Amino acid sequence: MALKIRKRDEPWKWGALVIFLGALLFSLGVSCLLLAGQGKDALHGMFILWEGSFGNLWALEGALLKAIPLFLCSLGVAVAFRMQIWNIGAEGQFALGAIGATWMALSFPGLPWYGLMPLMFAMAFLLGGAWAFIPAVLKLKLRVNEIISTLMLNYIAILLLDYLVFGVWKDPTSFGFPMTPEFTSGAVIAGIGSSRVHWGLLFCAVVGVGLWAFMRFTRLGFELKASGEGARVARYAKIRYGLLTMFVMGLSGGFAGWAGCIETSAVLNRLQPSLMVGYGYTAIVVAWLARLEPLNIAFGAFLLAALRVGVENLQLELQIPAAFGVIMEGMILLTVLAGQFFLTYRIERAPREGGE
Amino acid sequence: MLMWEFIIPLMAAAVQSGTPILYATLGEMMTEKGGVLNLGVEGIMAVAALAAFVTSFATGSPWLAFLAGGTAGLAFASLHAFVCITCLGNQVVSGLALTILGLGVSTFLGVPYVGLAAPGFDPFAFPLLSSIPVLGDIFFRQDMLVYISFVIPFFFWFFFRRTSLGLHVAATGEMPAAAAAAGLKPVALRYFAVLTGGFLIGLGGAYLSLAYTHLWTNGLSGGRGWIAVALVIFAFWRPGRAVIGAYLFGGVMAFQLRLQAMGTHIPSSLLLMLPYLLTILVLILSAWRGRRIDAPAALGTNIEPEA
């Protein structure tokens, strides 16, 4: 029986969801094989993964906690990807945001929270945005490939963070550990009620709604959506492509910077290298899985955050290396990409000879 | 004095640390010549480095290990080929996914080997050539894999300039539709480019665990894959310039290590930034020359199936 590839006349309505679930299932299947390869009981492992992700309130809190930085980074990535600007630098922009926030927290330790927090968030946005602004300018003025420049800036940002916490910002009372002194209470984002989840969650909601309103109601937001087709189309539509690129990259980096600020302030209460756990890269996975839609990103961030928490449980209970989670992320993304073929094409039985 | 004690050893070290980058750059160049952008170089190198190490550890044969590295690179690149060429997935995102997956797989499966050593390749004086003054000391007191890397750029040049298969591959990188109209098979040619490219990238990864170090540690690739992607642009898709670029980066990496070993007061984190800063600088410089036209015209775009 001969098969034939045909372009779909109408979009496949629930296709994206079906493909995502299929990819998830496939990746879980392969993960089972990986576990079995390590000599573990795969089904038991899957159960522990599930328990660790969604099994109890503690797990759900943990997932929400990790979803906060993921959501902000991913929102930033998506804004840039929409314009086909490949900002792979969320990780570095996240680090710069954390550095900016720490700078303020260490400079004005006496301020109350309503004085210090705005300073920290502003500086985090500024530095994170500036870190993304460099590749934007290089791309516009010199046509330097932004994929590589943003990525190189990730490595540089992490080393800069190391330089600061091993050097000038090192806490003299930390017994040689690379970390800054603990933040004063004005620089720490508090938990909501008695839960582990902090007010950063509310901030995420505000940013999410704000971005949606911006895209919906402002001219710049409209141009942003319209220029997704690339520079040439944008120029036909008299869209200010250069301005937009710089704006989008600044915004993108600023969001990641905020994520860094929140994570340092609320979770670690200080700057230290363990801050960098790859949220910036996971954010790319989330953004693409969510098809760059803000609401989907919220779900996606929660899901991949839950996966991270589940893998931590797996690590604890079965001594599975943490890289297990990274493998799953990569695999899900790759499978979804392959599956997206079926969004535009369908496979049909070829008509018999003379049937056409 | 300074010449013999510092500069020549530094240049020899530049060739050594440039070699994995050279393999990877040529591999990525091969891939891009066929019109496919593969941003998974970093992940492919990591997986290949582990495959080579494990093979050498298990069999004791460095040659088999070197081949295993290349094969692992090829196998891993085939995922990218399938997603992009057959499934028409976004090449940028697929490459990133491959990097994420590759780094994950190598860390995950490499856990039991961390800190272990395996037989690899050691430097030896190449007969006759090593007695050439200066040049012999720089280029011909290296390991076997470095000598192999010397000839690959010539093969590469010959392949694209003198063989019909090379011309066909380049044609699919420039105008796949025209190539198809001329009776070529762009899909098969692109698979060929991605797979052979993956093999070469894999050899670069194998170099890391077999010759650069004989140990297995996490994060062995250390951004070299990304440097290779940048060097392809720097090299204007020409093998000769890839050699220059790779040794330039090898030089900076070696220089930075030497400074650290000499006990400088510059913090190591700042020194470690050098190769990454240089990558950006190199891209700026190559942009200045304004030779973007050298890029394969269809780079990054997929071939739509006829329907």
Closest alpha carbon within chain A to B278: A152
Q: Name the residue ranges covered by the structural domains of chain A.
A: 41-319
CA distances from A188 to A11, A71, A129, A341, B45 (A): 48, 20, 22, 46, 41
- Measured between beta carbons, the chain B residues lying within 8 angstroms of A321 are 107-108, 111
DSSP string, A186-213: GGSPPBSTTSS-BTHHHHHHHHHHHHHH
| pLDDT (mean) for A63-91 | 94
User: Which residue in the set A86, A323, A340 is minimally distant from B89, CB to CB?
Assistant: A340
| pLDDT (mean) for B14-43 | 96
Q: Inspect the interface and report whether the beta carbons of A153 and B280 lie closer than 8 Å.
A: yes
What pLDDT score does B3 carry? 67
Percent of chain B with pLDDT over 90: 73
What pLDDT score does B98 carry? 97
Inter-axis angle of helices A57-82 and A241-262, nearest 10: 160
pLDDT digits (tens, 9 = 90+) for A149-202: 999 999 999 999 999 998 888 888 878 788 898 998 888 888 888 888 889 999
What pLDDT score does A355 carry? 42
Closest alpha carbon within chain B to A326: B104
Residues contacting residue A267 through CB under 8 Å, at least 6 positions apart: A65, A198
Kindly tell me if the per-residue pLDDT of A315 is higher than 60.
yes
How far is Cα B99 from Cα B103, in angstroms, rounded to an integer?
6
Alpha helices in B142-185 (DSSP H): 144-162, 164-174, 176-181
Q: Inspect the interface and report whether the beta carbons of B87 and A142 lie closer than 8 Å.
A: no
- Judged by a CB distance cut-off of 8 A, whether residue A167 touches chain B is yes
Q: What angle do CA B202, B208, B210 make, to 5 degrees?
A: 95
Closest alpha carbon within chain B to A156: B273
Q: Inspect the interface and report whether the beta carbons of B104 and A166 lie closer than 8 Å.
A: no
| pLDDT (mean) for A117-138 | 96
Mutate to test the interface with A, among B25, B32, B101 (most CBs of A within 10 A): B101
For residue B162, the tally of other CB atoms under 10 A from its CB is: 9
What pLDDT score does A352 carry? 60
- Judged by a CB distance cut-off of 8 A, whether residue A103 touches chain B is no
Q: Inspect the interface and report whether the beta carbons of B103 and A152 lie closer than 8 Å.
A: no
For residue A6, the tally of other CB atoms under 10 A from its CB is: 12
Helix (H, G, I), strand (E, B) or coil at A269: coil
* Ramachandran quadrant class, A293 (left: phi over 0; alpha: psi -120 to 50; beta: rest): beta
| CA dihedral angle for residue B18, residue B19, residue B24, residue B28, rounded to 10 degrees | 80
pLDDT digits (tens, 9 = 90+) for A331-356: 999 999 999 888 888 887 776 654 44
State ipTM. Answer: 0.92
pLDDT digits (tens, 9 = 90+) for A200-209: 999 999 999 9
What pLDDT score does A231 carry? 61
What pLDDT score does A353 carry? 55
Kindly tell me if the per-residue pLDDT of B291 is higher than 60.
no
- Closest Cα in chain B, distance from residue A340 (Å): 7
- Judged by a CB distance cut-off of 8 A, whether residue A219 touches chain B is no
pLDDT digits (tens, 9 = 90+) for A4-48: 788 887 777 788 889 999 999 999 999 999 999 888 888 898 989
- Judged by a CB distance cut-off of 8 A, whether residue A209 touches chain B is no
Percent of chain B with pLDDT over 70: 97
Q: Report the topology of domain B2-294.
A: ABC transporter involved in vitamin B12 uptake, BtuC (1.10.3470)
Burial A140-155 (b: 16+ CB within 10 A, else e): beeebbbbbbbbbbbb
Q: Write down the residue that tokens 């890289």 correspond to.
A: A323
What residues form DSSP beta bridges with A348? A4
Q: What is the pTM of this model?
A: 0.93
- Closest Cα in chain A, distance from residue B87 (Å): 5
Rg (CA), chain B: 19
User: Which residue in the set B96, B226, B288 is minimally distant from A284, CB to CB?
Assistant: B96
| pLDDT (mean) for B114-118 | 93
User: Which residue in the set A138, A144, A151 is minimally distant from B226, CB to CB?
Assistant: A151
* Domain A41-319: assigned CATH number: 1.10.3470
Q: Inspect the interface and report whether the beta carbons of A341 and B87 lie closer than 8 Å.
A: yes
Residue A226 tokens, joined? 């319209």
